[in-house]
Structure 1
């Protein structure tokens, strides 16, 4: 006699709350909530972003849930090693949801705006540095990238630490349509900007 069984995986292991932020995202005058929870059972320690919007009744309803926007703490491609970055911080300022993340050689801030039922990526601030000696010194060049996805204007500015003058400015127009939505955004998309 042969027996077969199915292993049912519990997909709701996101039980440890890492971040929580409140503010008005949909401009209704009521507080909305953003949470980041970690799956402490899965070895890679994936993270889930959830956005809850206030309803006229005062209750919060889940509007967006994403397991792709934040890199797991121990990605499989790292062979079980820590990714080296802290868990992103979230801020709500003037109705804009901002996600600040560390990246290799700097940091990046994504700005998402609620529009017709979706959160769209509208702006990116990125700061990177090129430490040729492996550490930051007076020869380190910092590059600040400002990308307004609504206008399509992307500006990169190079400066050297300790100098008050700009070394180089590069400006170009890059139109991305439709604007990326938060639920489709992946942590690896940082390489696109």
Structure 2
């Protein structure tokens, strides 16, 4: 009988105590709630303003008009010795975004709205924050500063703290259904299912 060699157990990287405290400790959930509500409010306000715009330049009869004007402004920023917009992003705007301005208009308006609602409710917080940060990154690449740097930083923090950022929100009950984390009531009731204390 041949005994096959067993593969070595994979190395486990220990999470530093400060990282666990900041990004996984429910005691900091109130802080994450405030951060999440602020970012969610910013996105909800921006998206709601676009969706309900009376001129219909984002969604409606004239959808794409606002995006077309914005993107044409982006192309102007690609010239000169020190352009505000990188050449590759200008290519993307000219060849992909502008020809599909109507689709991008709906994506931006409803994307902002959905990110805001998800963050305020604490539903799939990490995913919502990721897409919010993705929108911020695109606005920054397009040469628009405004509140985008701050929101991008806060979105990055929310992505890092996804385990606790939605603790005071729907994630606390939604994520266990997807097997992402234990339901808090189950862990409290069954000591055997509580995470083991790390070896010091």
Give the shorter-chain TM-score range: under 0.3
Higher relative contact order (CA 8 A, sep 6+): 2
TM-score calculated relative to the size of structure 2: 0.22
Q: By percentage of residues, which structure has more strand?
A: 1
TM-score calculated relative to the size of structure 1: 0.23
Q: From the CA coordinates, give the structure whose radius of gyration is larger.
A: 2
Q: By percentage of residues, which structure has more helix?
A: 2
